[in-house]
């Protein structure tokens, strides 16, 4: 397969449009939202009007008829300015609406996707549990089918769930144990739970290190009842479903991490040109030049990695290893670039009024969410044929 990742005219036009939106609309106001731990509803509504939440979906469901590459390009450009806004889009599509698009019935798609594609509503994916973390197969949340009422009765707790408690969240797809295999292993299924369902409680927003302008909550289910028809895909296939969802999501997270890494370069280059010390701009010092050159090189390599994974996915080729490598590399690059950008800014880099301080605090979660760096190394090793 060719590694020529030059963008088509349509993709480049989209990239430039989102780039302008990020700098003209997001950048001037997001700092205040971030400082006050507020969700930027008007920014998200504008992103919806631009069609960003419907980029990879067909027009029959309210989408833009684009592809996954288009979504990732938008995510990267947003993350160059702010990760909270970028992850709201990434999670809203990759985790919120994509499971319904891939595995939903025709009725489920027509019920939920139009509002999700328009940005009028957000969806969330309830996978992680307080005692689970990387061991997603150890799900403790249960769902029992009440045959008399033909309803699923759900009990359990989910944690760290993005987009799950906003005023426009319409649903959360949760994984739950719905039975046991003959060998005793759990049968995990995915079930759509509409917001406001009795027995479904959304916790208060977490106090987080970063991503302060995004919504992250704990969810609890106590005899929460939803119709049997809310089962997403086949019963017992929830584990396989979320494995595929996470494979694709890693490419999107890699794009987000690349955007943050590039944003650190953008901010540091601009600062180095204007900040003077000892009678000259600090960017004239070779030590700073080398630091910025390395930062730009890392961002470029990360971009090449996620675009390669996206191209393989688009061509129907195996991409699991490439997605894990892109996710692993770009997220570690983001942390490194954020640290270096803070260093370039000196004392100002420690002040939250400067974007690099926000980027520094936003970067660490990238090595944890949607598969830790350790998990990515395990997956790569398995793709190399090494035993688990």
Task: Look up 370 and say whether it is catalytic.
Answer: yes
Residue among 12, 370, 374, 383 flagged as catalytic? 370
Which residue has 């938008």 as its token pair? Answer: 74
How far is Cα 246 from Cα 176, in angstroms, rounded to an integer?
Answer: 17
Q: What is the tally of structural domains in the chain?
A: 3
pLDDT at site 362: 98
Write the DSSP string, 259-282: HHHHHHHHHHHHHHHH-EETTEEG
Residue 121: HSE in the Cβ half-sphere, 13 Å Cα cutoff: 18
Query: Which two three-digit tokens encode residue 375?
Result: 């998990």
For residue 244, the tally of other CB atoms under 10 A from its CB is 14
How far is Cα 97 from Cα 52, in angstroms, rounded to an integer?
Answer: 13
What CATH number has the domain bearing residue 368? 1.20.140.10
Identify whether residues 271 and 307 lie together within a single domain: yes
Identify whether residues 109 and 174 lie together within a single domain: no
Identify whether residues 75 and 110 lie together within a single domain: yes
Identify whether residues 55 and 68 lie together within a single domain: yes
**Is 112 inside any structural domain?**
yes
pLDDT at site 133: 67
pLDDT at site 286: 97
Question: In terms of C-beta density within 10 A (0-12 exposed, 13-18 middle, 19 or more buried), how is residue 355 classed?
Answer: buried
Question: In terms of C-beta density within 10 A (0-12 exposed, 13-18 middle, 19 or more buried), how is residue 24 classed?
Answer: exposed
Question: In terms of C-beta density within 10 A (0-12 exposed, 13-18 middle, 19 or more buried), how is residue 17 classed?
Answer: middle
**Is 207 inside any structural domain?**
yes
**Is 3 inside any structural domain?**
no
What size, in residues, is the chain? 388
pLDDT at site 229: 97
Identify whether residues 58 and 190 lie together within a single domain: no
pLDDT at site 297: 98
**Is 388 inside any structural domain?**
no
pLDDT at site 243: 86
Identify whether residues 245 and 226 lie together within a single domain: no
Final residue belonging to a domain, choices 73, 94, 122: 122
What CATH number has the domain bearing residue 101? 1.10.540.10
**Spatial contact of 170 and 123, defined as CB atoms under 8 Å apart:** yes
**Is 379 inside any structural domain?**
yes
Q: How far is CA 70 from CA 73, 76, 310, 347, in A?
A: 5, 10, 10, 37
How far is Cα 131 from Cα 385, in angstroms, rounded to an integer?
Answer: 30
Identify whether residues 267 and 314 lie together within a single domain: yes
**Is 57 inside any structural domain?**
yes
Identify whether residues 377 and 305 lie together within a single domain: yes
Identify whether residues 227 and 258 lie together within a single domain: no
Final residue belonging to a domain, choices 88, 122, 156: 122
pLDDT at site 329: 98
Identify whether residues 132 and 246 lie together within a single domain: no
Tens of each residue's pLDDT in the chain, 388 residues:
455 668 999 999 999 999 999 999 999 999 999 999 999 999 999 999 999 999 999 999 999 999 999 999 999 999 999 999 999 999 999 999 999 999 999 999 999 999 999 999 999 999 999 987 666 668 999 999 999 999 999 999 999 999 999 999 999 999 999 999 888 889 999 999 999 999 999 999 999 999 999 999 999 999 999 999 999 999 999 988 988 898 999 999 999 999 999 999 999 999 999 999 999 999 999 999 999 999 999 999 999 999 999 999 999 999 999 999 999 999 999 999 999 999 999 999 999 889 999 999 999 999 999 899 999 999 999 999 998 7
**Is 78 inside any structural domain?**
yes
pLDDT at site 210: 97
The helix or strand, by DSSP H or E, that contains position 312, with its residue range, turns out to be helix 286-314
How far is Cα 39 from Cα 53, in angstroms, rounded to an integer?
Answer: 17
**Is 4 inside any structural domain?**
no
Identify whether residues 272 and 376 lie together within a single domain: yes
What CATH number has the domain bearing residue 136? 2.40.110.10
What is the span of the domain harbouring residue 223?
Answer: 124-235
Identify whether residues 21 and 67 lie together within a single domain: yes
Final residue belonging to a domain, choices 235, 253, 282: 235
The residues with which 124 forms a beta bridge, in sequence order, are: 172
């Amino acid at each position: 397969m060719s590694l020529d990742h030059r963008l088509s005219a349509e993709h480049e036009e989209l990239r430039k449009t989102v780039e302008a939106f990020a700098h003209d609309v997001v950048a001037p106001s997001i700092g205040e939202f971030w400082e006050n731990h507020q969700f930027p509803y008007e920014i998200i509504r504008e992103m919806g009007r631009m069609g960003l939440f419907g980029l990879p979906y067909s027009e029959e469901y309210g989408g833009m008829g684009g592809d996954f590459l288009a979504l990732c390009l938008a995510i990267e450009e947003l993350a160059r300015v702010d990760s909270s806004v970028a992850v709201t889009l990434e999670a809203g599509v990759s985790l919120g609406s994509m499971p319904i698009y891939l595995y939903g019935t025709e009725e489920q798609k027509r019920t939920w996707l139009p509002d999700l594609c328009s940005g009028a509503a957000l969806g969330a994916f309830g996978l992680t549990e307080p005692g689970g973390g990387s061991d997603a197969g150890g799900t403790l949340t249960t769902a029992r089918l009440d045959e008399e009422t033909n309803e699923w009765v759900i009990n359990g707790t989910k944690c760290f769930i993005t987009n799950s408690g906003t005023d426009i969240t319409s649903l959360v797809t949760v994984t739950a144990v719905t039975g046991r295999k003959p060998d005793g292993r759990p049968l995990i299924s995915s079930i759509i739970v509409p917001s406001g369902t009795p027995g479904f409680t959304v916790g208060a927003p977490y106090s987080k290190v970063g991503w302060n302008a995004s919504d992250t909550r704990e969810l609890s289910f106590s005899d929460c009842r939803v119709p049997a028809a809310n089962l997403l895909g086949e019963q017992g296939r929830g584990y396989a479903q979320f494995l595929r969802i996470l494979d694709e999501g890693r490419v999107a997270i890699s794009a987000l991490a690349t955007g943050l890494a590039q944003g650190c370069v953008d901010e540091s280059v601009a600062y180095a040109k204007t900040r003077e010390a000892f009678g000259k701009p600090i960017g004239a010092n070779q030590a700073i030049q080398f630091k910025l050159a390395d930062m730009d090189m890392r961002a470029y390599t990360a971009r090449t990695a996620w675009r390669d994974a996206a191209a393989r996915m688009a061509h129907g080729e195996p991409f699991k290893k490439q997605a894990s490598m892109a996710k692993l590399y770009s997220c570690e690059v983001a942390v490194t670039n954020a640290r270096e950008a803070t260093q370039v800014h000196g004392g100002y880099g420690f002040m939250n009024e400067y974007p690099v301080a926000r980027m520094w605090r936003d970067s660490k979660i990238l090595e944890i969410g949607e598969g830790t760096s350790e998990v990515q190394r395990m997956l790569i090793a398995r793709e190399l044929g090494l035993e688990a």
